[in-house]
Each structure stands twice: as structure tokens, then as C-alpha cells.
Amino acid sequence: MTEVIGNYIKGTQITTTQGDYQDVFNPATGSVSAQVCMSTTEEVDQAVNVATEAAKDWGRTPSPKRAQVMFRFKRLLEENSDKLARIISSEHGKTHDDALGEVVRGLEVVEFACGIPQLIKGTFSEQVADGIDVYSFPQPLGVVAGITPFNFPAMVPMWMYPNALVCGNSFVLKPSERDPSASLFMAELLKQAGLPDGVFNVVQGGKEAVDAILDHPGISAVSFVGSTPIAKYIYTRATSTGKRVQALGGAKNHMVVLPDADMQQVTDALMGSAFGSAGERCMAISVAVPVGDQVADELMERMTPLVKELQVGPPDDKNAAMGALITRDSLNRIEGLIQSGVDQGAELLVDGRGYKVQGYENGFFLGGTLFDKVRPEMEIYKEEVFGPVLSTVRVNDYQEALDLIHNNPYGNGTAIFTRDGDAARDFVSRIEVGMVGVNVPIPVPVAFHSFGGWKQSLFGDHHIYGPETIHFYTRMKAVTSRWPTGIKSGAVYNFPTLN
């Protein structure tokens, strides 16, 4: 009998639904591994109602006690990291080591959340006028929600709910229906850590569940990570109902390679950042930008044999650099984009199509793919490929590299590789991108900074996790107080001043 993956409401897994069921695949084998409930609007409403009730007591729980739950959750995650990584790999297809890395990066945010009580302590100003004191402090919003993508089924939710919970909110998570099991495992660990039932809930599903979250009057804020068209939709629909929204969209990340760069370092960085996790990362480098033909020729000469030798396999293959793509539809879409690059005149140096793994012939595998002489008007450049495809756009000089990045509608991440401190400093200052790496290919900020892009890569005012998380998941209350001994008799009709 096929396993059913359901919702998690009020501390209990629910595997029945009023809606439909959707297949969940093992990408390495191509076979159905389970079915997931596609929640209805009514089932989302049930989860929100439960979260609303739970938020009343949770929001009044002392912040150190809320942090203690997160400390215990952190320990449980560390003890169960291998198991969680195997759950991720079985539904996502990424290698086990890559999945472990995802868990570790998520744990960094949990660690940050443990320190949130210090960040929400408020401010106090004594005697701003005769007998008058003013103080302000943040309070939780109530019920908040997260809608998360398939590519990081553990880490991206951990960008959201640990911070939201310690800030005093209850949380409703809608994970990707493609790899839904990690969310339930984390929900069970939160319960073991002492989180009261109903404070954290999971609703599985597709568009109906998403729209129910966006429209629900009981939800105060929505966090989202995904593609740009959906991010824009999420932002527009949710803000129209008065919600706070942080919607992180797509990316087209460029790596500029100056003539003085260490080419071995560049090659290593490009291989890892373009092909790690089969390129299914919003921070993957998908465009190499060598400055000058001499740099480009040397880079292609170095990269071509490495991409050809790139080993692809199932999660338990210790020699595999990357695993399968998430679905057959994704594989077909990326293969179509590769063909468009060929048809439009790009030079295909390494073609990863048709890659077969012995014993896993039905898996959704695509080998590493390398293009040279890609032009900005080509579909392979304009589209967010989200696969193991590296496009090379040659430019004549540094300014042309800047213009290429600035003319792209995305502004998520970028990198420059150089030994020239002046050039690096100029790049960091001038580039219109939210996250920048200097000789670092995937500049994902550590947990005590915040993550977010510019332009079409972010809709909303706040980046995700780090210091900005406090502003997003709380609202400020300011109190002006004066006690009877300081009050003079008589009404005052003019606007109050300090005089």
C-alpha cells in the first residue's frame, strides 16, 4: 500500500483529505514513493483556527522559555541530521552529503533564533517630559505562514519558522508538494522539543492551499521562496488582503572572471556553484562572465574535461557530485532549453542530455552541461534554468560585465573573482545585486546577516532571516506613561509638547 503524506495539525498527523492526492516520486528511480494530500481551503482554515488559538498562550509565554524550546529543537536536529538528510534525498534526489549540508545551514538559523530574546527586549526613555516616560517593545503578529520550495525542503523552512516561533507567533507551513516529508519530520522534532500543540502546523497541497493562505484573514504575514512569477503573485494577492509579505523570487547569477584571477580557484568555484545540487539552487552560478577572449579560452579549456567527467548518481553514491532532478517535467523543460541554446547559435561544449545511471535507468538524471559564446538574447540566458547548465557569456571589458548584470531583470546573487582589491571594491559598491561574493561563488549570508536579492528577485520590504526577521515577525508598540503625582489639574486642548 502506498504511503500517504498528510497534514500536521495540533500535534497530530492527518492523512485523510477532502481534496485530491498527488504522487511523490523518488527522482533517482523515477518511481512513485508516496502520495501527498492536496489540502482544501477548509483544511487550511482548520489549521489557521488551531494556530490562532495556540498563538494566544504562546505569544504570552516568556521569550526565554520560547528560546529554550528552540535550544532543545537544535539538539534534536543535530542528533537526527542523518535521518533528515536521507528523507530529503529520497524525495529531492540530491546527494546525501548535499542534504546534510542543507541541514547544517538550516541549523545556523535555529542557533540565531535561540538568541532572539536579546533582540526583542525593547527600549526605554525616562523623563522625556515632566513625569513622563516612553518605552517601546516588539510584540508578535499572531499567525504567520511560510510557503516553501522543493529545492531546500528543510533549510528554507528553517529560514522562517524558528525565528517566527521565538518571536512569539504560531506558524502554518505549506511545503512543496514534490518533497513534503521533511516538514512532517521537523514538526515531530518540534513537538519532542516541547513546542505546544497547534503552534506549528503543516498543510500540504498546491494552488488551492496557497490561495487559502494568501486570502485568510487570520494570517498576518506570509514568507515565500520560489520563482519570480509566483513571488510576484504571492506578493500582489497577499498584500491586497493587508498582509505583510516577503516573497523571494528567481535568479540569474553571474560570476565575473577578471584576467588576474586565480584560474584554478575560478574553475573549482564554478564547478561547485554551477553543478552542486544539480544546479537546483537560487544561488547557483548559471552564467560565467570571463573578461576577454584569452580568459574565456583558458576557462573553457579547463572546464570542459571537468564537466564531461562529472559523476551523477543516486543519493547513496559516495562518488556522485550531484543527483537527479526533482521531476521528469523538470528534466524535459531543461533539455528543451538546452536545445534552444543549440538552435539559437550557442556553442555546446558538453551535452548532459541522455545521461543514464546503471541500475537507475528511469531516474531523472541530467549530466553536466556547458555552453560557450552565449548571447543575452538567447533563451538559455534569459530563462532561469534551475539545472546543471552553465552558460558562458564573453565580454570585452569590466564595464561590459557590469552592464550585462545590470541589464538582467534579476538581482539575487553575483560574484567576482580577481586579485585586484580596487576592482573588487568597485564591483561591490556599484553592482545592483543583493548578495555579492568576492572570490566566493555562492555568497549566502551567515544566519546573523539577512538573505535577499534586489529587483525581480525580491518582492517586499524585508530580507529573510537575520536581523530583518525581527522587524518582519513583530510589530512595535510604544507606551507613553505618567503617574498621578506628576499630573497637573486642568484640561489641555492644544497638541501636547515637551514645554
Strands 21-26 and 244-248: unpaired
- All three cell numbers of 149: 520550495
DSSP assignments along 211-266, one per residue:
HHHHH-TT--EEEEES-HHHHHHHHHHHHTTT-EEEEE----EEEEE-TTS-HHHH
Crossing angle between the packed helical segments 96-114 and 81-92, to the nearest 10 degrees = 130
146-181 per-residue burial string, b: 16 or more CB within 10 A, e: under 16: bbbbbbbbbbbbbbbbbbbbbbbbbbbbbbbbbbbb
Are the CB atoms for 258 and 439 separated by under 8 Å?
A: no
Sheet of strand 474-482: strand arrangement: 123-129, 132-140, 474-482
- Please return the burial class of 312, using the count of CB atoms within 10 Å of its CB with bins 0-12, 13-18 and 19+: buried
CA separation for the pair 53, 429 (Å, rounded): 47
DSSP assignments along 47-80, one per residue:
HHHHHHHHHHHHHHS-HHHHHHHHHHHHHHHHHT
Per DSSP (E only), the strands in 386-469 are 389-392, 410-411, 413-417, 435-438, 454-455, 458-459
Are the CB atoms for 337 and 382 separated by under 8 Å?
A: no
Helices (H), 389-467: 398-406, 421-430
**3-state SS assignment for residue 444:** coil
Name the nearest CA neighbour of 9 among 246, 197, 209: 197
CA separation for the pair 192, 9 (Å, rounded): 15
Locate cell 524535459: which residue? 332
CA separation for the pair 14, 17 (Å, rounded): 8
Are the CB atoms for 352 and 367 separated by under 8 Å?
A: yes
Active site residue 282: yes
Provide the residue count of the chain: 499
CA separation for the pair 370, 341 (Å, rounded): 11
- In the set 37, 114, 167, 282, the catalytic residue is 282
Catalytic residues: 282
